[in-house]
Amino acid sequence: MTDHLSETEVSLFRERTTGPTERERIDSHVAECESCLRRILPSEDTALVYSDLTEALLPRSAEEPFHLSNAEMSAYANRSIDQADRVIFESHFEFCAQCSEAVESLAASSPVESVSSSAMQADSPAQFSPGWSAAFQFTPARAAAGVLVAASLVLGFVGWLRWHSRAVDQNAQQASSQSPSNRPESGSPTPAPKESTKDSTADQFAVAASLEDNGRKIQLDNRGKLIGLDELPETSRSLVRGVLANKTLSKPEVLDKLTAPSITLMDPTARENTFGLLGPSGTVVATDRPSLRWQALTGATSYTVSVFDADFNLVTRSTPITVTQWTTPSLRRGKLYSWEVVAVSNGQEVRSPVAPAPRAQFKILESEKLLELTNLKKHSPISHLTLGLTYARFGLLGEAEEQLQILVRENPNSPVATRLLRTVQEWRKR
């Protein structure tokens, strides 16, 4: 089972603004996902109502199937039942071979009364009251017939609602496309100006956002239809559609976890004799062997790097080195880590980060997200917009900024592209 439909997909599907490919995909999904089906269709939808009626009135699969009693089958064979019971019994015979064979045997062995005699008996006052009372008796056969009748009514009502909704939509579209001067009126009709028709069509398909992206144009019209990324998976298209519609990015929760509050270190090293860490810090990294970088400390003879997990347990530590960069061994994907560097200068240890600065933290990207990025890069031409937004959604801020800078160069006058780039840059500063 794939992931559930997003709110944007549900909204577009209800408004009938999805393309044929998207609608076919959503139809296939909701055929297997009752949760998404309930979100798209009203509670009185055909399949659900019919299922509820069947569950309420018909016996469970584990229950013993019901059969007509000997008295009921004898009454049917002797034609001494009313018309309502006859219809119900005959409906039962269609799917119950046991009762059908039994009543045929009774009919063959018992003399059948004449039709005229049965009719006279049914009309007589002595038999009217019992027959009327029997019509309201509950029997399993009548329960099954009740299910069929109720389900038929529900199906008919839902079908009428859908037909009525389509008719109203069509009438509304015809009314909106027909100007007052084109409608039939008494007297000589006045033809509508052609420019008015063009303006109406232009308003109906007005572009809400438009960007150049690696040699192609990406557009979102005012109906929420995305144009220009048909080859990408729906997850990526939905991300681009949502960002262009809102013209802003939502900050991923993982970044808040990586920007820890300030800490107090046990080592009282003087703050004026310290150095800074260059990264990674406050971001997600794609590789499971990140390269940790820091500033050089004047007079330092060696540096030792330590990496800790989210519970402050030591995961790995370097040997004393003289360079200002160290690549870690393979770390576990999906996990958060923090790191620090201890420099030796004039025989003293100098630690970074130093309080009140926060811990330097990063996260290793999950395997499934790495696969999604890998597949996205296989499409040609690469969409800098889609790739940049996906990087940002996963918390890979450096890569996201790089892709959005390319997008801004292609769209120097676009406020949307500029806003997206500035948003990611602000996230990196915190």
User: For 71-122, what is each residue's pLDDT tens digit?
Assistant: 888 888 887 877 767 777 787 777 788 888 887 887 777 554 444 444 334 4
Query: CB-hemisphere CA count at 13 Å for 230?
Result: 7
Q: Please tell me the least confidently modeled range out of 155-169, 205-219, 331-345, 398-412.
A: 155-169
Give the Cα separation of 381 and 350 in Å (integer): 49
For the chain, percent of residues with pLDDT exceeding 90: 40
Give the Cα separation of 207 and 214 in Å (integer): 20
Give the Cα separation of 6 and 427 in Å (integer): 25
**What pLDDT score does 357 carry?**
79
**What pLDDT score does 90 carry?**
80
In the chain the domains, ranked by start, together with CATH numbers, are: 42-185 (no CATH), 197-246 (no CATH), 263-363 (2.60.40.10), 367-429 (no CATH)
Q: How confident is the model at residue 331 (pLDDT cuts 50, 70, 90)?
A: very high
**What pLDDT score does 85 carry?**
78
Does 246 or 62 have the greater pLDDT score? Answer: 246
Amino acid type, 263: I
Q: How confident is the model at residue 140 (pLDDT cuts 50, 70, 90)?
A: low
Reply yes or no on whether the pLDDT at 145 is more than 90: no
Q: Please tell me the least confidently modeled range out of 189-203, 229-243, 346-360.
A: 189-203
Reply yes or no on whether the pLDDT at 20 is more than 60: yes
Reply yes or no on whether the pLDDT at 362 is more than 60: yes
**What pLDDT score does 392 carry?**
94
**What pLDDT score does 119 carry?**
39
Reply yes or no on whether the pLDDT at 181 is more than 70: no
Reply yes or no on whether the pLDDT at 65 is more than 70: no
Give the Cα separation of 247 and 239 in Å (integer): 12
Average pLDDT along the chain: 76
Reply yes or no on whether the pLDDT at 200 is more than 50: no
User: For 255-273, what is each residue's pLDDT tens digit?
Assistant: 988 886 555 545 554 455 6
Q: How confident is the model at residue 236 (pLDDT cuts 50, 70, 90)?
A: very high
Q: How confident is the model at residue 150 (pLDDT cuts 50, 70, 90)?
A: low
- Of the candidates 168, 192, 194, 170, the residue with the CA atom closest to the CA atom of residue 179: 192
**What pLDDT score does 107 carry?**
76
Does 296 or 199 have the greater pLDDT score? Answer: 296
User: For 374-404, what is each residue's pLDDT tens digit?
Assistant: 999 999 899 999 999 999 999 999 999 999 9
Does 333 or 204 have the greater pLDDT score? Answer: 333
Give the Cα separation of 293 and 321 in Å (integer): 12
Q: How confident is the model at residue 173 (pLDDT cuts 50, 70, 90)?
A: low
Both tokens assigned to 43: 């509670």
Q: Please tell me the least confidently modeled range out of 7-21, 234-248, 266-280, 357-371.
A: 266-280
Structure-token match 């389509």, residue found: 166
Reply yes or no on whether the pLDDT at 410 is more than 50: yes
The backbone torsions φ and ψ at residue 138, rounded to the nearest 5 degrees and listed phi first, read -85, 125
pTM of the model as a whole: 0.52
The secondary structure of 167-219 as a DSSP string is HHHHHHHHHHHS-GGGS--SSS--PPPHHHHHHHHHHHT-EEEEEEETTEEEE
**What pLDDT score does 103 carry?**
79
The backbone torsions φ and ψ at residue 351, rounded to the nearest 5 degrees and listed phi first, read -105, 145
